[in-house]
């Protein structure tokens, strides 16, 4: 072998020790060495024994080197294969870790949801995962069935959330895919996008709809501007959202169904209570209607409920009867005026009209609303509107379907009652009322005091009588005119009615014009202390109230006398006489005060 060949072999040995040498290069080198060995063997035959020994030794070294290269090649191939397998295992392990983290997150969310007793809180917490920053997006959960739609949302106002609807063709596609993404024209033309305000639309570039079919035409749909967690690839986020909605869907649906059933039971119970009012004893149909409106206001949460009738000749609706929560005079006047404006609207064929704050601002042409929500229920007979039931309140509160049903039932029930008793009620009202003050007249007072006193003596309860008289009323007439005196009487009558209406008593009080400028209050079930307190509150408000007539303002005061049966008397004449004596003493003591009667024994009633 030549010196050049040996040097070449040494250089190949050095190259084989480098990590970067590939097995293909080793194969080429081995072939070259084998070729040189063949040449060397041929030369051995031409040289002597000594030279042959050296050549044979070189051949052995070369063979060992060839074996080394072969093993090195196999080792590199094994190393490359192991490296590829390691990469695959690392990718699989990363996926398993991600799946484990998502599974843990999913289990935690489901545990939190199921553990929360208040489903509204649970849904809101879930929506916060999909919308952690409400200022940059929104998330909503819609529960739909044959009864309608319930919606919870974060990132949008309750008013917008109540308007969320999913088009039927979108719902069909959603049922096929479980998860649907709306973007571009499909997004801007959807009803979900249409109800959003301008500011919210700026942050909405795509909407994800995630569906869970609960059977029996019931569906739960999650609507969100993004899916979470953002660090996970989209396919995993989509699957997680689908599993979450499916996992909680049955629970949400069950809860919503329970709430609906509870609402139906509550409405049924309230309807029975309202119907039972007709079975109670009332002196007239008007008193029954007044009690009915009061109960209706209590169960629906409205501050004022009014019943309007349409006159036989075409004209504005006329208020027949009203129940109102305690309001100041100015507030009451404005409230009733704005309510009357609603009755002037051109109502079409809808069985119920709901006015939110925006519609009220348009109709009343003011942003300073006295009440924020109103409902008007027309009462129709043979396609003719014969009356209106108008309900209003100061704060907005969502109306459930069951409450709509209650209001529609109440409207129909009132219509039936009015058809039976309206003419009689109007006649009775006109016959019993004082034309100037609107209070009961003297004849009605005489009938009521006898009935209430007999009832008190029979049941052992108390019955108070308060007689009130305007101070220096003749001077008011002489100084400002009789029309100003009439206005003063009307003002005092209104103050008395408001105080009596607001007192808590199981029996109904009677407020009457006893004669001239003298007014009377019958307070069944009220003792001396309560009657004195009511009289004092009326006296104080009258003293603080300015009467206004023809741009002239003036003050007026009143004096009063209180007598209670059976404490002071057991007969009507004696009771009235003692109250009148207490009133006279209040006048003698300086006026503008309320005095109580002195007890007298009266063993037998005298009528």
* Residue numbers annotated as active site: 517
DSSP code, position 597: P
Residue holding tokens 């005119």?
Answer: 481
Asked if 225 contacts 208 with a C-beta cutoff of 8 angstroms, the reply is yes
Report helix, strand or coil for 145: strand
Contacts of residue 530, defined as CB under 8 A and 6 or more positions apart, other chains included, come to 464, 503, 523
Question: Which candidate, 362, 360, 343, 350, places its Cα nearest to that of 404?
Answer: 350
Task: Please give the structure tokens belonging to residue 173.
Answer: 């596609």
Which stretches of 338-492 are assigned E, i.e. beta strand?
353-355, 373-381, 384-393, 463-470
Total number of residues shown for the chain: 607
Neighbours of 54 (CB within 10 A): 12
Q: Is 431 exposed, middle or buried (0-12, 13-18, 19+ CB in 10 A)?
A: exposed
In angstroms, the CA 155 to CA 131 distance is 7
Long-range contacts of 15-24 (CB under 8 A, 24+ apart): 16/68, 16/69, 16/72, 21/72, 22/76, 23/72, 23/73, 23/76, 23/77
């Amino acid at each position: 072998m030549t010196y050049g060949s040996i040097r070449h072999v040494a250089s190949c040995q050095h190259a084989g020790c480098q990590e970067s040498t590939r097995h293909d290069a080793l194969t080429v080198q081995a072939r070259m060495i084998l070729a040189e060995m063949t040449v060397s063997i041929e030369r051995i035959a031409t040289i002597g024994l000594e030279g042959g020994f050296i050549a044979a030794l070189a051949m052995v070294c070369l063979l060992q080197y060839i074996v080394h290269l072969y093993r090195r090649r196999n080792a590199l191939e094994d190393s490359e294969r192991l490296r590829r397998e390691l990469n695959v295992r690392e990718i699989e392990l990363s996926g398993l870790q991600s799946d484990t983290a998502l599974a843990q997150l999913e289990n935690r969310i489901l545990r939190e949801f199921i553990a929360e007793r208040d489903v509204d809180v649970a849904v809101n917490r879930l929506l916060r995962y999909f919308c952690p920053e409400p200022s940059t997006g929104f998330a909503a959960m819609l529960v739909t069935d044959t009864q309608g739609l319930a919606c919870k949302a974060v990132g949008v106002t309750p008013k917008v959330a109540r308007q969320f609807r999913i088009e039927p063709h979108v719902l069909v596609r959603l049922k096929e895919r479980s998860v649907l993404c709306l973007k571009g024209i499909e997004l801007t033309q959807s009803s979900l996008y249409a109800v959003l305000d301008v500011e919210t639309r700026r942050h909405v570039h795509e909407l994800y709809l995630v569906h869970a079919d609960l059977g029996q035409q019931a569906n739960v749909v999650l609507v969100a501007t993004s899916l979470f967690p953002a660090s996970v690839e989209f396919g995993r986020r989509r699957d997680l959202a689908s599993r979450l909605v499916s996992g909680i869907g049955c629970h949400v649906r069950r809860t919503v169904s329970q709430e609906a059933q509870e609402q139906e039971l509550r409405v049924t119970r309230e309807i029975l209570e309202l119907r039972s009012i007709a079975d109670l004893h009332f002196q007239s149909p008007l008193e029954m209607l007044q009690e009915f409106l009061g109960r209706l206001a209590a169960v629906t949460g409205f501050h004022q409920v009014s019943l309007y009738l349409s006159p036989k000749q075409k004209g504005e609706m006329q208020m027949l009867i009203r129940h109102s929560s305690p309001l100041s005079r100015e507030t009451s006047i404005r409230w009733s005026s704005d309510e009357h404006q609603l009755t002037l609207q051109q109502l079409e064929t809808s069985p119920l009209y709901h006015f939110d704050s925006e519609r009220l601002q348009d109709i009343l042409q003011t942003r300073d609303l006295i009440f924020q929500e109103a409902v008007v229920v027309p009462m129709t007979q043979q396609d003719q509107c014969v009356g209106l039931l108008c309900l209003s309140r100061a704060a907005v509160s969502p109306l459930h379907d069951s409450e709509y049903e209650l209001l529609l039932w109440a409207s129909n029930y009132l219509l039936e009652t009015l058809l039976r008793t309206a003419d009689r009620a109007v006649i009775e009202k006109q016959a019993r009322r004082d034309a100037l003050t609107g209070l009961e007249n003297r004849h009605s007072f005489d009938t009521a005091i006898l009935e209430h006193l007999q009832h008190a003596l029979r049941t052992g309860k108390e019955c108070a009588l308060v007689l009130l008289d305007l101070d220096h009323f003749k001077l008011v007439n002489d100084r400002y005119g009789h029309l100003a005196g009439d206005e003063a009487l009307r003002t005092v009558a209104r103050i008395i009615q408001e105080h009596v209406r607001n007192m808590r008593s199981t029996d109904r009080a009677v407020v009457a014009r006893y004669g001239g400028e003298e007014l009377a209050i019958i307070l069944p079930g009220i003792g001396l202390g309560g009657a004195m307190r009511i009289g004092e509150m009326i006296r104080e408000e009258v003293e603080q109230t300015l009467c206004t007539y023809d741009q002239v303002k003036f003050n007026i005061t009143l004096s009063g006398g209180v007598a209670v049966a059976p404490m002071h008397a057991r007969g009507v004449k004696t009771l009235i006489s003692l109250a009148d004596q207490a009133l006279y003493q209040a006048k003698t003591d300086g006026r503008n005060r309320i005095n109580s009667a002195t007890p007298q024994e009266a063993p037998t009633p005298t009528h």
